[in-house]
């Protein structure tokens, strides 16, 4: 199975975190020099900078810019380089361990921090994670045991307690990393599902808009024929009653045509690009057209409709709230 994509993602994250790692190295070097002044913290810092920059410019940045398939040999070399860099980073613990209890505490925190960094940032590639964790794990188990043997001799009980403490820390660390990986996997799966649902919703919305547009165009064709026939009929000699019916037909056709145009503007509404045109409206004419549309159906049911307009109401309204109100 090709894991090139995982290597590319890991390299991209490490390239983004270069300055953070170098900043941590500065703080660690300064603290180590404060505990035990000598040239070694400075040499350690130079070694860390060189190895980190080499890995960044030889591995991380090229892999982030290009995404070729990686051979097995290349993946092994990347894992070996990560393991070497981790070993260089925690090697300062050997120097600090000999400086009493404060130095041992600092060295332990450095090793544990290195392990935590490896587990959290290299978890996507198991080969690189194992290679990076090898040196910190070795130091975590070996330094206390060697120190105990040098100072107090071989005490199996003390050595057993030290090894068990290191093992418990590793067990808790692995458990936490495992849970973190599960959470990340769940988040990735949830994000992928949400994106899939979003695409489905967008596809359904487009299908709905296309359907409405198609139906609207299909309705417009016979409606134009009805409207044209009404206009032709309006030009013929008719009685007053017939002219009223034709007027109602034309008004209804106009209202229906406006509704169809609004349906065709559905795509603009969904995109948030719908604009309102403020035009003058003849209120008396509008009321008369509405009365004409509903007068016939009302009479068929034995009802009557009357429209009364307040004499103080203006005949025209521009729709602007600043200058008109009803």
pLDDT digits (tens, 9 = 90+) for 139-178: 888 888 888 777 766 667 777 777 888 888 888 777 777 7
- DSSP class of residue 122 equals S
Query: How high is the pLDDT of residue 318?
Result: 56
Candidates 25, 19, 178, 197; CA nearest to 110 is 25
Q: Where are the domains of the chain?
A: 4-154, 281-320
Query: How high is the pLDDT of residue 273?
Result: 59
Residues of the chain with pLDDT under 50: 1, 321-326
Other C-beta atoms lying within 10 Å of the C-beta of residue 320: 10
Other C-beta atoms lying within 10 Å of the C-beta of residue 137: 20
CA 141 to chain centre: 41
CA 269 to chain centre: 25
Residue 182, judged by CB atoms within 10 A of its CB (0-12, 13-18, 19+), counts as exposed
3-state secondary structure of 309: coil
Q: Give the start-end residues of each E strand in the chain.
A: 281-282, 316-317
Query: How high is the pLDDT of residue 325?
Result: 45
In this predicted model, what pLDDT tens digit does every residue of 63-89 receive, in sequence order?
766 666 777 788 888 888 888 988 998
Contacts of 85 (CB under 8 A, 6+ apart): 51, 52, 55, 132
């Amino acid at each position: 199975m090709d894991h090139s994509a995982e290597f590319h993602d890991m390299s991209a994250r490490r390239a983004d975190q270069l300055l953070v790692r170098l900043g941590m190295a500065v703080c660690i070097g300064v603290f180590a020099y404060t505990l035990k002044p000598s040239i070694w913290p400075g040499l350690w810092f130079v070694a860390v900078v060189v190895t980190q920059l080499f890995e960044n410019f030889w591995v991380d940045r090229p892999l982030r810019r290009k995404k070729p398939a990686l051979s097995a040999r290349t993946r092994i070399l990347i894992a070996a380089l990560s393991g070497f860099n981790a070993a260089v980073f925690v090697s300062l613990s050997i120097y600090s361990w000999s400086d009493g209890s404060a130095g041992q505490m600092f060295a332990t925190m450095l090793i544990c921090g290195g392990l935590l960094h490896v587990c959290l940032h290299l978890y996507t590639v198991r080969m690189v994670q194992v290679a990076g964790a090898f040196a910190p794990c070795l130091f975590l188990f070996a330094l206390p045991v060697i120190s105990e043997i040098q100072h107090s001799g071989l005490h199996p009980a003390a050595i057993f307690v030290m090894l068990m403490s290191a093992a418990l820390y590793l067990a808790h660390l692995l458990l936490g990393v495992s849970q973190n990986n599960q959470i990340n996997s769940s988040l990735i799966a949830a994000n992928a599902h949400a994106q899939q649902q979003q695409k489905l919703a967008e596809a359904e919305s487009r299908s709905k808009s296309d359907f409405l547009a198609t139906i609207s165009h299909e309705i417009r064709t016979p409606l134009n024929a009805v409207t044209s026939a009404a206009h032709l009929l309006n030009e013929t000699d008719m009685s007053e009653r017939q002219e009223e019916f034709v007027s109602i037909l034309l008004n209804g056709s106009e209202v229906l045509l406006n509704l169809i145009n609004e349906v065709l503007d559905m795509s603009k509404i969904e995109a948030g690009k719908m604009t309102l045109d403020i035009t003058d409206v003849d209120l008396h004419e509008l009321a008369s057209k509405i009365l004409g549309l509903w007068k016939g159906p009302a009479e068929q049911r034995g009802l009557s409709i009357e429209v009364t307009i307040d004499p103080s109401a203006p005949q025209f309204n521009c729709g602007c709230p600043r200058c008109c109100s009803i």
